[in-house]
Amino acid sequence: MANDVTAAEARLGPVVEIASGKVQGTIANGIHALKGIPYGASTAGHNRFRAPQPALGWSGVRAATGFAGRAWQLPNRPARRAVLETLLGPADTTAETEDCLTLNLWTPGLGDGGKRPVMVWLHGGAFAYGSANRAVTDGANLARRGDVVVVAVNHRLNILGFLHLDDIGGGRWMHASNAGILDIVAALQWVRDNIAAFGGDPGNVTVFGESGGGGKVSVLLAMPAAKGLFHRAIIQSGAAIRVSTRERANALAEAALRALGLRDDECARLQELPPAQIVAAIAPAACAVGRSQWPLLDRYDFGPVVDGADLPQHPCHPGAPETARAVPVMVGGTREESAFFLADDDRVWNGLLTETELRERVAAVAGPETEALLAVYRAAMPQARPADRLVAALTGSNFWIRSVILAERYAARRHAAVWMYSLDWQSPAHDGRVKAHHAMDLPFVFDNTEVADTTAGAPGARELAARIADTWIGFARHGRPDNPALPAWPAYTPDERATMVFDHQCSVVRDPGRDARLLWTRVVTS
């Protein structure tokens, strides 16, 4: 089921009037697509490091037929192994811009009085890079399959979205710490105010995101300003337990100012510098400050800050926030998340890692629990190579344990239910080396398996995509993920720890990897 449509197949759709003006997108195969709709003003100049400002209105009909630009990206990211560049389909090549407060929307109906569930997608990229303009997360197939409205949001990232200036420069900068998340709140307000015109129900909104997008969902659950703007939440491979404290955020901001040659009383000059110069200060600032005190839980240098106002507490530390009590949550990840990141390591990619190297790599994160963890993974994977056990161990430390902690702490609130899952289907791409890798869920959730190399043409991929997409749709519609395509799926509890395993055959497993869970919990919370 391809979602790419040629210009000849797509035609202009009806004109839709929203609060800012009239917009017109395209229609193809029964789905209306409207792209690049502004939900806020440009964040350049005087608006830089401020809370998002309302979108400027326009006269006439605004074309919403193509993606607008993406936010400024983290510079100098390491290049991927060449054969992996299209593992998740083509990259977004739109321009980087501060006029990035835009959203893309796919719907089966315009102005038809429909009250469809609304699914708001938050892209990955560790709060530092990424965009809502990727082909693999095109929402047309998901909207068509579920009769839902899909919205994907672009917003500020990295230092331009999360620079804590309040303590340095004063109240003028009070929202700079969390500007990128406040952008998402503004997008959700846009959905509340405008989505009915696109056949959506503002009273039934689900936020869902993968990797850094899952972190964004986690943070939104703890933000008073977001309360009531969404009603269900899905966290994919990105559960956030802690984010930055004021102390660490202050140190990063001070270091960034020094890297830019600015004094503390010159914060206003930040609004005059070229954005490329500001993002270039990320690396030297992070290097000067060093790692977080909680490196396995607080993973973002320039990311959300517990500032006591916009974000009063950590997303899930010490427990679930009161603002999230009424929101059902689905959380999980892929079985071998770290295969995605370790694929660029020749020793791992070629299966050459030795037992000694495995011990050294695990010890770097596990400390005194190293030998116990090595024994657990050896017992669970007796025939596996050291490289495969490293993938499993770093998946446990970097991803899986955060999902488990969030699930158990949310389940303990005894109000809205929590469901947990694991995507265990392994990609055959590249001779199976990438396994059930990080972000492999994207083509399944969006029913775009032919877009990504990891799933294109793979046996069983389309059938599993149908199950997974229907599960996400069902959760958005009813607040429960169980559906006829799956076996009975109990809610997660700290006692039973029921986990749905998505594979060629789907099944519920109780407390998977118990011994590793207990050890990693000690490591990350000590």
- Token pair of 154 as six digits: 């672009």
Cβ pair 356, 350 in contact under 8 A = no
Among this protein's residues, is 123 annotated catalytic?
A: no
pLDDT, tens digit (0-9, with 9 covering 90-100), for 62-121? 999 999 999 999 998 888 888 899 999 999 999 999 999 999 999 999 988 899 999 999
The residue from 210, 336, 337, 369 that is catalytic is 337
What pLDDT band is residue 8 in, cutting at 50, 70 and 90? very low
- Read off the pLDDT of each residue in 329-338 and give the average, rounded to a whole number: 98
122 contact partners, CB below 8 Å, separation of at least 6 = 153, 184, 207, 208, 209, 213, 214, 216, 217
Neighbour-count burial of 112, counting CB atoms closer than 10 A to its CB (0-12 exposed, 13-18 middle, 19+ buried): exposed
Q: Name the average pLDDT for the chain.
A: 95
- pTM equals 0.95
Cα dihedral 446, 448, 451, 454 sign? positive
What is the C-alpha separation between 154 and 55, in angstroms, rounded? 14
Burial track 45-82 (b if 16+ CB lie within 10 A, e otherwise)? eebbbbbbeebeeeeeebebbebbbbbbbbeeeeeeee
What is the C-alpha separation between 504 and 428, in angstroms, rounded? 13
Question: Does 5 score more than 90 pLDDT?
Answer: no
DSSP-derived 3-state class of residue 69:
coil
Burial track 270-297 (b if 16+ CB lie within 10 A, e otherwise)? beeeebeebbbbbeebbeebeebebebb
The residue from 155, 175, 210, 211 that is catalytic is 211
- Read off the pLDDT of each residue in 269-287 and give the average, rounded to a whole number: 96
Q: How many CB atoms lie within 10 A of CB 375?
A: 12
What is the C-alpha separation between 519 and 398, in angstroms, rounded? 13
What pLDDT band is residue 3 in, cutting at 50, 70 and 90? very low
Among this protein's residues, is 438 annotated catalytic?
A: yes
Which comes out higher in pLDDT, residue 171 or 182?
Answer: 182
Cβ pair 184, 153 in contact under 8 A = yes
Place of tokens 């009424």: 326
What residue spans define the domains of the chain? 1-73+89-351+397-484
The amino acid occupying position 461 is A
Q: Out of 3.40.1050.10, 3.40.50.1820, 3.30.390.10, 3.20.20.140, select the CATH number for domain 1-73+89-351+397-484.
A: 3.40.50.1820
> What is residue 174's DSSP assignment?
T
pLDDT, tens digit (0-9, with 9 covering 90-100), for 219-246? 999 999 999 999 999 999 999 999 999 9
What is the C-alpha separation between 64 and 107, in angstroms, rounded? 14
What pLDDT band is residue 290 in, cutting at 50, 70 and 90? confident
Of 393, 162, 182, 222, give the one whose Cα is nearest residue 296.
393
Among this protein's residues, is 337 annotated catalytic?
A: yes
